[in-house]
Amino acid sequence: HGRMRRASLFMTHIHVHVMSNLNPRVCTRQASSSLWRAKPTPSRDGVGRQFRTTIAPPLRSAPLSDDEKKVNMLRNLTLDGPKYVSTKAFEPSDVDKAKAQVIRFLEYKPRTRRELFDKLTVDKGYDAEDANEALDQLRASGVQNDAEYAEMFARYKWRNSRWAAWRVRGALRQKGVEDRDIDEGFASVFARGGVMKVDMFADEDADEEEDLMDDEVDLERERAMELLQAARTQFKRNTRGDMQARIRRLMAWLERRGHGGSVIRDIVEVIKREEKYADDDDEDDNALHFD
């Protein structure tokens, strides 16, 4: 009990002394030095000893230097004059915030101008004028371009699903892409106007020297051969039913991808001719007998 009482008194006196001292350097020195002295004194009953804690005299602080005096003077100085009002010259405007938001949208996935405008005005609450100005600046800097989006979208749909050009155009129009941007994007993906004609007597192993002589790739022929090869793969994959059922499923597969009637008829004729020749070859092989 006596030790706990002495410890409580010790902490109380230190707190009072440190809080009353104005110079922190002096407080540090006094707290780290032997500030308190425990003097043993005889108890009243003559048995044992009790301790009386006394506080040491405070140390004198060093005189302030000239620099410290100047700092104290500036701290106590009262400034007169009008209150400073921020001009917001370095704060981002609504257009800058809209551009930053558009960049965050494009980091997630590519979008058209209309999609970005709708997300800025409807989802984020930006003013239409600020949204248009932000999109114009980003288009001028090359960050967003509907023609590049149209080209990328057309390549993706053709490579993965073999969509026809007119179906890709319809999907881009729903996304808000204008026709001039669609035509610019289609220039390197489809032939002019999306024309495609499948050559019924086309040979995949045609003379390569003729192709090497051409400076520009014939997109119409190239896309037709790619579509024909995809149709062959689809026809061989569907083995259920007879020949007519397989042909009907192939025609439905081509129609869902937006290909016209002439293209579908040409592909069906090529598939039928190839199947007939394959059956004839099988019959010739079966007719050969060697003893």
pLDDT of residue 194: 67
Residue matched to tokens 């004609």: 197
**pLDDT above 90: residue 152:** yes
Write a three-state SS string for 144-173. CCHHHHHHHHHHHHHHHHCCCHHHHHHHHH
If residue 55 lies in a helix (H) or strand (E), which one and from where to where? strand 49-55
Residues 6+ apart with CB under 8 A from 249: 238, 241
State the pLDDT confidence band at 127, using cuts at 50, 70 and 90: very high
pLDDT of residue 180: 94
If residue 264 lies in a helix (H) or strand (E), which one and from where to where? helix 261-287
State the pLDDT confidence band at 216, using cuts at 50, 70 and 90: very low
277-288 pLDDT, tens digit per residue, is 876 655 544 544
Report how far residue 279's alpha carbon sits from residue 21's, in angstroms, rounded to the nearest whole number. Answer: 110
In this structure, how many other beta carbons lie within 10 angstroms of the beta carbon of residue 192?
11
Bridge partners (DSSP) listed for residue 40: 51
Nearest Cα to Cα of residue 161 among 233, 249, 230, 252: 230
Report how far residue 220's alpha carbon sits from residue 232's, in angstroms, rounded to the nearest whole number. Answer: 18
State the pLDDT confidence band at 201, using cuts at 50, 70 and 90: very low
pLDDT of residue 24: 46
**pLDDT above 80: residue 5:** no
Q: 280 φ, ψ to 5°?
A: -65, -40
Report how far residue 35's alpha carbon sits from residue 11's, in angstroms, rounded to the nearest whole number. Answer: 12
Residue 121 is encoded by which pair of tokens? 């005005």
In this structure, how many other beta carbons lie within 10 angstroms of the beta carbon of residue 290?
3
Rounded to two decimals, the pTM is: 0.61
Residue 233 is encoded by which pair of tokens? 């793969």
pLDDT of residue 97: 94
Category of 162 on φ-ψ map: left (φ > 0), alpha (ψ -120 to 50) or beta: left
Instruction: State the chain's mean pLDDT as an integer.
Output: 76
Specify the length of the chain in residues.
291
* Beta carbons of 21 and 58 less than 8 angstroms apart: yes
Residues 210-238: what's their mean pLDDT? 77
**pLDDT above 80: residue 207:** no
Report how far residue 186's alpha carbon sits from residue 231's, in angstroms, rounded to the nearest whole number. Answer: 23
| Least confident among 26-40, 117-131, 155-169 | 26-40
20-58 pLDDT, tens digit per residue, is 444 444 444 444 444 444 445 554 555 555 545 455 555
pLDDT of residue 8: 57
